[in-house]
Amino acid sequence: MKLISHRGNTNGKSEGENHPSLVETTLNAGFDCEIDVWLQGGEWYLGHDCPLYPISFDFLERRGLWCHAKDLRTLEAFTSTALHFFWHEHDSFSLTSRGYIWTEPLKPLGNLSICLFPERTEQDFSKSYGICSDFITLYKT
């Protein structure tokens, strides 16, 4: 089962979510990480509601990142890269660039699904490819 930290959080939401140092720590702990990415004025940033933390494009090439494009400009830029990316807003399902199905809570799950926030529901995610959570350390064992 693929374990994906939501914005670098591992034991609940943190003020530093999406901060490059938190993302790095999470990757070094052996988890994949979903990050919120913006391309603004030719520069790359992390941040949920707006571009907050400047990063280099090289940062995005790290193994284990699931890049959530936060706007159309970013999504279009991703299409000419080898990055693992996706876009969603209020969709039940979104297909990632590598063929996984980013799946909202309580929606049907398949063997390519990434189940979001299983701690919020009692949904059986055992046959999913992976899960994404703010509490990803709960699922390590």
Reading the block at residue 71, the tokens are: 């706007």
Distance between CA atoms of residues 48 and 68, nearest Å = 9
pTM, entire model = 0.96
- Cα Rg, the chain, nearest whole Å: 14
| pLDDT recorded at residue 44 | 98
The pLDDT value recorded for residue 115 is 97
pLDDT of residue 141: 76
20-24, 70-74, 123-127, 129-133 — which is least confidently predicted?
123-127
By C-alpha distance, which of 94, 19, 25, 22 is closest to 52? 19
pLDDT tens-place string over residues 22-77: 999 999 999 999 999 999 999 999 999 999 999 999 999 999 999 999 999 999 99
What is the average pLDDT score of the chain? 97
> For residue range 71-101, what is the model confidence (pLDDT) as tens digits?
999 999 999 999 999 999 889 999 999 999 9
Residues near 37 by beta carbon (within 8 Å), at least 6 away in sequence: 44, 45, 46, 60, 67, 68, 69, 70, 74, 78, 85
